[in-house]
A and B are shown apart, each in its own frame.
Chain A
Amino acid sequence: NAGVTQTPKFQVLKTGQSMTLQCAQDMNHEYMSWYRQDPGMGLRLIHYSVGAGITDQGEVPNGYNVSRSTTEDFPLRLLSAAPSQTSVYFCASSDMTGGYTFGSGTRLTVV
């Protein structure tokens, strides 16, 4: 039972490049979310989904896109990377009745 799997663990991008952060869960959870974590700012919600085909914006959605074509996968796309998107990104999932299970995170640096 893998839980929530995020790839890659580390990534360096140049300004303007695009990329997709992958997130997959094998717990059949309906809820999935993306957070970014910056020093002193806590965990800020980027986008979330309550089921396949349903997504919504969180607190800091600008510059990011998501889609949810299956229950298992919830990729996060950076359209045109900016230095302000340098952060640690966490994907998390939940069965709507309990707590969230977090992936191990992706440390992204944009230069």
Chain B
Amino acid sequence: DTAVSQTPKYLVTQMGNDKSIKCEQNLGHDTMYWYKQDSKKFLKIMFSYNNKELIINETVPNRFSPKSPDKAHLNLHINSLELGDSAVYFCASSQGGGAGANVLTFGAGSRLTVL
């Protein structure tokens, strides 16, 4: 029983294409996140949703659009892919987000390679 599952695990595509990554959690958490990890392992928050409401939207190009159809799902759509979008994208979830001590549970990551 995977707690946070992402699909696909690997994605190779050409510049200019549009792609989506899906994320689902079965933990009953109310907050979900997208993080981007670059080749140097630096981890940066992109978006966060709490009960389907967008609460964090960091400085991310408009080509990235998250969608949360319900609190168990958070998808990431990327338009007009660029070389610099190549990275590992991690979905995560937590219960209560801002309560400080709540732990993030991460998915296994989706490695995006843009050629």
A associates with B: no
Interface residues of B (CB under 8 A from A): none
Interface residues of A (CB under 8 A from B): none
